[in-house]
Copies of this chain bind each other. A is one copy, B any other.
């Protein structure tokens, strides 16, 4: 199967598993459940689920287990988008080519959607058998909770808030992104691998190195895309970071150097995967695909 067919298949599979795992729209409270489904279904590149499934190939993980882990990570991502789009945060009206959740429903509902999606993510990881033993599954839950919390994604958003209109150094920008987007990308990769056989320490260390590099790489690519694309192509408001005077890799480094950085991180990502041999094929292809969007 070529990469593009693999990706299409998994994006459909992710949509189906989210559809199955989200509460039905007809169950009370209906409006909340409709809004949760509106936010989570029907769009998105599903980068984190793709990473989760690709990492699962390293450890021979059961695809049914990967569906659960991938859904949990994606629900955390979706909840963060819903909250991030609210007027008290980024105040955005367009997401994945549709009106944002608080525009389509209302602010209070959007806040509860985010809250409930976060709870659902942890519920999924707790109620489905995902690892050979329950102890390892508890470790997976801890990993996702840390990635989502104040020293992970939510913390990164707090740093981002504080950074609006501030001059940031490259190191400070990186510190923000390691939290804001990197922590959850890393969790997607590590949780995918954790659904299969135990990996030797050296392999786990390589994978963790890959996961951290990938998180930064995807952010650099996002910044490049945000500076080059228009709103229609992106499906979300383009040029937003510049308009809000938010520091980005492009604003700090310039476009050409940001692209150099992406190329360099891409090389390092492949290096970190080298010891896995052919099992890391999908993860390598996925990395290349994501980077190629920006060139």
Query: Which residues of the partner chain B approach A149 to less than 8 Å between Cβ atoms?
Result: 116, 119-120, 123
State A29–B175 Cα separation when bound (angstroms): 11
A-side residues, CB < 8 A to B, are 23, 27-29, 31-33, 36, 79-80, 83, 86, 88-89, 106-109, 111-112, 114-116, 118-120, 122-123, 125-127, 133-135, 137-139, 141-142, 145-146, 148-152, 154-155, 157-159, 161-162, 175, 179
Task: Given A155-B116, A159-B29, decide whether A123 and B138 contact each other with a Cβ distance below 8 A.
Answer: no
A146: which B residues are within 8 A, CB to CB? 119, 123
**Are B120 and A118 in touch, CB under 8 angstroms?**
no
List 5 A-B pairs, minimum CB-CB distance, nearest first. Answer: A119-B149, A134-B134, A123-B145, A88-B107, A32-B158
Report the minimum CB–CB distance from A258 to chain B (whole Å). 25
Chain B residues whose C-beta falls within 8 Å of the C-beta of A89 in the assembled complex: 108, 111
Residues of B within 8 A of A141 (CB): 122, 125-126, 138, 141
Verify B158–A142 contact, CB threshold 8 A: no
What residues of chain B lie closer than 8 Å to A134, measured between beta carbons?
Answer: 133-135, 137-138
Cβ–Cβ contact B123 & A111, under 8 A: no
Of B86, B112, B126, the contact of A145 (CB 8 Å cutoff):
B126
Q: How far is the CA of A139 from the CA of B109 in the complex (A)?
A: 28
Interchain Cβ contacts under 8 Å between A and B, 23 examples: A27-B151, A31-B158, A31-B162, A32-B150, A80-B115, A83-B111, A83-B115, A88-B107, A88-B111, A89-B111, A109-B161, A112-B157, A115-B115, A118-B118, A119-B146, A119-B148, A119-B150, A119-B152, A119-B154, A122-B141, A123-B146, A126-B141, A138-B138
Task: Please tell me if the beta carbons of A159 and B28 are within 8 angstroms of each other in the complex.
Answer: yes
A122 CA to B149 CA, complexed, in Å: 10
* Complex Cα gap A202–B181 (Å): 47
Chain B neighbourhood of A145, CB < 8 A: 119-120, 122-123, 126
Complex alpha-carbon distance, A123 and B108, angstroms: 26
Report Cα–Cα, A83/B148, bound state, in Å.
Answer: 17
Known pairs A134-B134, A134-B135, A150-B116; A158 contacts B123 (CB<8 A): no
Q: Which residues of B contact A126 (CB under 8 A)?
A: 138-139, 141-142, 145
The smallest C-beta distance from A133 to any residue of chain B, in angstroms, reads 7
Q: Answer whether A111 and B86 are a contact pair too, CB < 8 Å, given A29-B162, A116-B149, A145-B126.
A: yes
Minimal Cβ-Cβ distance residue in B for A136: B134
